[in-house]
Structure 1
Amino acid sequence: MKKFLVTPTFLLIIQMIGYAQTHGESKKFEINDTYSIEMVWIAAGQFLMGSPESESERNPSREKQHQVTLTKGFWIAKTETTQAVWESVMGDNPGKIKSPNHPIESVSWDDTQKFIKKLNKQGAQFRLPYEAEWEYACRAGSTGAYAGDRDVMTWHSGNSGRTTHPVASKEPNAWGLYDMHGHILEMCQDWFTEDVSTYNFDPKGPKNGTRRVQRGGQYTGRIRHSRSADRQSGFPNQNAFFVGFRLVHD
């Protein structure tokens, strides 16, 4: 993997482009005549992806800490995609714990691509986040294991009652994003590989693989799997009651 030299001049260019809008600015994107999705602007920048060796309960082979540069900003949904939005587009609701304002789960990565294809028929540019984008947004400028007080931000096996909850029931991170820690695992666009420390510049992961990245922890899992750096994966055609997604718009 080619190494990129990130100079002060290059960073200044990133800041001039990326901070034309600031982190946390929100905007609504129409899905159809009934629903819209509120999204938050994430400006371009740099961050340390992965976890330091001192972080408790880390996975050293999956979480090697490395600097990542994102040269383009993006819009990311404030919340996980709800069952109401899914049903309004797809006409069905495969969710196990059915409630309109709960996150859609029990859908596969392949299913999400069909959903996104329908959304983009009218020229929209929705997609899943790349893994580096997801962690950058999750951290919201933080460098610890969690982007704040985990007890007020996270649904996990110790407090969820083994059920999902309405989205945005917990506290958001500093950039206004809800449920980045816990609740349901969120699918990313990337193929999964154990070590991503060589992907440093607008990373999109390997070109092929067998599993797709999942991030954020989930309501029947241990809280340690809700850490900002924790990395999971699943097969593209696999659906699970604890896996869903949130959207990005370019």
Structure 2
Amino acid sequence: MATGMATGVGTNATGLLMTAVPAGRAVLSDRRTRRSWTVDVDPCLLGTHPVTQELYAAVTGDRPSAAEGPALPVESVSWQDAVAFCNALSAREGLAPAYRVADAADAVERDPAADGYRLPTEAEWEHACRAGTAQARYGPLDEIAWHRANAGGAPRPVGGRRPNAWGLHDMLGNVWEWCWDLYDPEVYGSYRVLRGGGWFDEHWSCRASVRRRSHPTLRIDDVGFRVARDAAA
């Protein structure tokens, strides 16, 4: 449930579009425990599109994706790669990195006082995806998402489908997106949350509430990410 409307789009020094997402509330659910919980979400800035291959290469010098194209979403990137990208983009723009990364693979801490780029939380992601709606999707699937039945077996350039009411593109379909949160540490340890569905997925996976999980080192060709920042940053 939203308490306002998205307030517009801004561009950073690298040409990354960021959309202002209003404060609101997200109701998350867990299939294993069959419980639901409500999270109040502060206003934030969220990438209007998933991070593209062009932007990823400009910031890191790497081109990890299986499919090639500057406007395609970067994929074959792990959660750890996404965290490193956020810190590198922050450093490039003179911002305080959001993450402190230790030597251990999963030893990453977020600095809540930092003004740099970060991954969205799961609640931020779902709140932004729904954009004030209560349905499973923010529009007819073929109009808003690339999925198995229409993507032609590969990711597609970002922004090619209709955005949601707040101007965010590809929140469903195209590539799954890493979120900051642990999925279920009691059972899955360090596995992190993935949201949104991807180009290889059937229609039932491309819904606002669907959660997936994987190890933070996983790299696969239908997983990417988008960045966030605190609204006051």
1:77-92 equivalences under 5 Å are 77-92=47-62
> Retained in 2: the 8 A contact 1:49–1:136?
no
Map 1:61-210 onto structure 2 (within 5 A).
Answer: 61=32, 64-70=35-41, 72-121=42-91, 122-123=94-95, 125-193=116-184, 209-210=189-190
CA drift at 1:60: 4.1
Structure 2 unaligned residues grouped into runs of 5+: 96-114
* Identity level (%): 33
Q: Please say which of residues 117-126 and 73-82 is displaced more in the overlay.
A: 117-126
Counterparts of 1:144 and 1:214 in 2: how far apart (Å)? Answer: 19
1:199-246 per-position Cα deviation (integer Å, ceiling 9, x unaligned): xxxxxxx9x932110000010111111100000011111100000000
Distance 1:185 1:211 in 2: 15
**Contact 2:142 2:150 (C-alpha < 8 Å) held by counterparts:** no
Q: Distance in 2 between matches of 1:25 and 1:65?
A: 31
Task: Give the drift of 1:63.
Answer: 7.0
Q: Match of 1:46?
A: 25
RMSD of aligned alpha carbons? 2.1
The answer to whether 1:25 aligns with 2:8 is yes
Structure 2: how far apart are the matches of 1:169 and 1:241?
19
Take 1:28 and 1:150, find their aligned partners in 2: how far apart are those partners? 28
Larger Rg: 1
Deviations 1:46-71 (CA, angstroms, capped at 9, x unpaired): 24334xxxxxxxx843774443212x
Distance 1:82 1:157 in 2: 20
TM-score after normalising by structure 1: 0.77
Matched ranges for 1:235-246 at <5 A: 235-246=215-226
TM-score (norm 2): 0.83
Q: Is the 8 A contact 1:217 1:225 kept in 2?
A: yes
Return the alpha-carbon distance in structure 1 between the equivalents of residues 195 and 89 of structure 2.
23
Matched length: 207
The corresponding residue for 1:55 is none
Q: CA deviation at 1:24?
A: 4.1
Task: Look up the SS of the partner of 2:16 in the other structure.
Answer: strand
Residue among 213, 227, 230 paired with 2:210: 230
Q: Which residue of 2 aligns with 1:199?
A: none
